[in-house]
Chains A and B, each alone.
Chain A
């Protein structure tokens, strides 16, 4: 498992959830049946990662963490059945006393009597499922990771622009909504215009969701509230989208230095995850939607390993070095006009794109 994933799991910001969440229809494929411990359905699950308490039944309790779902498979039951009755009773009692969230017995195995009794005594919910342990673990972990994912609600818009999840930020009144509307008009898809719920998933994935209640509505000053889905049709919206790029619309401040080359490589942090960040200064006469669209296209190119700014800059630097080495500082390509040179640059870049191996930054 990668370091990223470890860090994600150590994160304390998981949203705790009650054991009864496991009764969600989303897990209906496991057909979890509650055997006992209904009083304990309000116990909290603290981490999405489940455990198999096999070694704990053998007497090694160290790694049993409170607030986890414990999966009981054939090996656990088989082992317990192999123990002398008194020892079996002690081990079951000890494990049940470790403040676990709940037990899930897999493969339709009949949990042994001592087990059911201890769960009842400690008010620990005990579920049964016919699914195999591996399936149960995968399904419950996935479900809990999503349900308990760290989250934040932010003021901003989220759009799918050429498949790029683009989070649009900016102060109130800077023109976010008009920009989002313009992007929808150009055929891109709106997730949310005003409020985005963002959840952090494993592997640095941030997923933005629209709000069910106000979904795909937009407020336009002077017109009021409109429904993008009704006005533009079903293909103009989507309910969620992973975020790839953050664009912030900023009021143009005289004297502020904005990135001119595109090499600044700024990032934006959300829920501990950093995403590429572009600051777009807003001034009258700038076509914001066009600029945002271009930012998305440029990001697509970078994803494919081609960084225009880096490429051009390295070409210029090579040329400077070459001229410096020749020592002939008066070298002039007099016959070559600026526009010819531009053409040359374009041709070369196309050529290099075919030749150069994929570069990743």
Chain B
């Protein structure tokens, strides 16, 4: 049973480049297969170009799905990062 969760993008700039880079770095720490879905588009959370392609603005909701031995930790970490506004000063 894969771990999955809907997470709203709440930071002002949305999933912009540096936020995307942080997301990729976080995802890359886990061995699980992690996907990010927005509407009909689903991308690999470990691919920077994939995440940029989503161009997710503030207010968008993305669905994170993780499959693998550390799926729950992966999901929690990414959720913390997104809800923590990517540690950015706004």
Contact = CB atoms under 8 A, between A and B. Distances in A.
A263 to B, nearest CB: 7
Interface string B13-55: 1111110110011000100000000011101000010001101
B58 to A, nearest CB: 5
A320 B53 contact: no
A312 interface: yes
Contacts of A316: 16-17, 52-53, 55
B41 A332 contact: yes
Interface string A319-360: 111011001011010100010010000000000000000000
Contact of B16 (A255, A317, A330): A317
A330 B18 CA distance: 23
Contact of A332 (B14, B40, B43, B57): B40
A264 to B, nearest CB: 9
Given A313-B16, A320-B16, A332 B55 contact: no
A255 B21 CA distance: 14
Contact of B57 (A313, A320, A334): A320
A86 interface: no
B24 A260 contact: yes
Contacts, number: 58
B17 A313 contact: yes
A1 interface: no
Interface residues of A, number: 21
Interface string A151-164: 00000000000000
A88 B33 CA distance: 90
B39 to A, nearest CB: 4
B52 A313 contact: yes
A257 B28 CA distance: 9
Contacts of B17: 261, 263, 313, 316-317
B48 A324 contact: no
B84 interface: no
Given A332-B40, A332-B41, A320 B55 contact: yes
A279 B65 CA distance: 32
Contact of B25 (A260, A313, A317): A260
Given A313-B17, A316-B16, A319-B55, A332 B39 contact: yes
Interface of A: 255, 257, 260-261, 263, 312-313, 316-317, 319-321, 323-324, 327, 329-330, 332, 334, 338, 341
29 contacts: A260-B21, A260-B24, A260-B48, A261-B17, A261-B20, A263-B17, A263-B18, A313-B17, A313-B52, A316-B16, A316-B17, A317-B16, A320-B13, A320-B14, A320-B16, A320-B55, A320-B56, A320-B57, A321-B14, A321-B57, A323-B55, A324-B14, A324-B59, A329-B59, A329-B60, A330-B39, A332-B40, A338-B41, A341-B53
